[in-house]
Amino acid sequence: MGGLYSSAAEAFSLTQGGPLHRLQVRLGRSGSQRERVARRALLATLITWLPLFIFSLIQGLAYGKQVRIPFVLDFAVNVRFLVALPILILAESRIDQRWRTLVLQFLRSRLVNEAELPSFEAVIGKITRLRDRLLPEAVMLLLAYIPASTSSELLLTASNWHSLATGAPSLAGWWFRLVSQPFFRFLLLRWAWRMFLWTLFLWRASRLNLHLVATHTDMAAGLGFLSQGQKAFSPIVFALGAVISGEIGNAIAYEGSTLSSLKLPMIAYGVMAILFLVAPLLVVLPVLHQTKRKALLEYGALVTNHDQLFDCKWIHGEHASGEVILGNHDASSLADLGVSFVVVREMRLVPIDKSTLIVLAVAAALPMAPVVFIATPTDELVRAVLKMLG
């Protein structure tokens, strides 16, 4: 059976709104949403990376030996603007579609009944209005520039394309501080804002009178589908992991750092990325805890009552003459109730499954693989592989 219909749920979006989005739509109305996103990704790369390359080329800082780290050999900046930045923009369409699917799932699975539909649509309306406000994007833009005014250099001690031999900032260095880096920070802050909006939606939706069933086989009372939604963020995790990988590559290649000395930030990023993406699901913990606690009492009483009747009938002989236990529905219902009680007892309080955690962990670790292989001597890699095979 299909669920309820809601035009608000069908149109739900956390990326297609806000002052900047409206401006982008006016500047490029033609094409599908994916085509517009692709054009934005290309334009963002041209604005952030291409001027850095041209200015470095003009001042002789793009390649050669004028500085220790010329522009084309700066792993961090090239990965940041040629890999991570386009992914942060291209991922919008896929993640927004997944969010819409999850919102609709509340209706398709009948977690929201007809009586609660107006309240559910009201929650969507509040989130949409908050998404479209000017103040959040203005604050994000301000925050994107604050670090640029307090820190003019990357965390590098070796001479690099950011500065001329005289110590004055290069043209590329100025563009990096005033345009490229704030632009990248703004994208990160906007994703954090969208994640906050999604968390707020889940919190408010979970406070409705949802039809949760503790015996649901997803082990989350029917909210297990929310875990699948977090998998869509694997491109974001990969993109930020690539940024960390580029910084680590610079530290190893130009700062004399070793892989072992940088293991901690690599591991820390993986843990932080997973925790950040699991955090939105924590807001449904109270309602799942209440559902589980109530179900344990109700199913516990039901199982006890059924077991007592079964004991009286089949153990103490209080059953009809000639009736046999084999194939009797009493024995079958006893087993079914037992399974249901086990499901309730093992119900998760946070709707996250192992497969989602594995996907996010792989997305965080994958960008680190090139650095590990490059920084590890070949003989050590061979010995490690032979050891695993043996």
User: What would the pLDDT profile of 281-325 be if each residue is shown by its tens digit?
Assistant: 999 999 999 999 988 888 777 777 766 766 676 566 665 555 544
For the record, the structure tokens of 151 come out as 């820190």
Q: Per-residue pLDDT tens for 56-82?
A: 999 999 998 888 899 999 999 999 999
| pLDDT confidence of residue 167 | 79
Residues 97 and 201 placed together within one structural domain of the fold? yes
> Where is pLDDT greater, at 48 or 371?
48
Q: In sequence order, which ranges of the chain are alpha helices (DSSP H)?
A: 7-10, 19-27, 33-48, 50-58, 75-79, 85-108, 117-131, 134-150, 171-175, 181-206, 225-231, 234-254, 263-278, 285-310, 329-345, 354-365, 369-375, 378-389
Asked if 118 and 223 sit in the same domain, the reply is: no
Instruction: Determine the 3-state secondary structure of 323 from DSSP.
Output: coil
Identity of the highest mean pLDDT range in 19-28, 178-187, 371-380: 178-187
**Judgement on whether residues 206 and 227 belong to the same structural domain of the protein:** no
Determine the pLDDT at residue 333: 61
Which of 312, 309, 303, 363 is closest to 339 using CA atoms?
A: 303
Q: Give whole-number Cα distances, 338 to 294, 299, 304, 310, in Å.
A: 17, 9, 10, 13
Query: How would residue 273 be classed by pLDDT, with cut points 50, 70 and 90?
Result: confident
Q: How confident is the model at residue 261 (pLDDT cuts 50, 70, 90)?
A: confident
The answer to whether residues 138 and 240 belong to one domain is: no
Cα-Cα-Cα-Cα torsion 245, 246, 247, 249, nearest 10 degrees, comes to 90
Closest CA to 188 of 155, 144, 231: 144
Please check whether residues 155 and 280 belong to one and the same domain.
Answer: no
Query: Which pLDDT value is given to residue 210?
Result: 93
At which of 211, 238, 273 does a domain end? 211
Is 241 found in the same domain as 185? Answer: no
Which pLDDT score is estimated for 150?
47
Domain identity same for 57 and 93: yes
Q: Which two tokens stand for residue 318?
A: 């209080």
If asked whether residues 297 and 354 sit together in one domain, one would say: yes
Place of tokens 């050999």: 73
One domain for residues 227 and 206: no
Q: What does the pLDDT average to over 266-280?
A: 87
Enclosing domain of residue 186: 1-211
The tokens describing 359, both together, are: 């996907």
Grade residue 344 by pLDDT with cuts at 50, 70 and 90.
Answer: confident
How much is the pLDDT for 25?
67
Count of structural domains, the chain? 2
Asked whether residue 257 falls in the same domain as residue 138, the answer is no
Q: What pLDDT is recorded for position 386?
A: 62
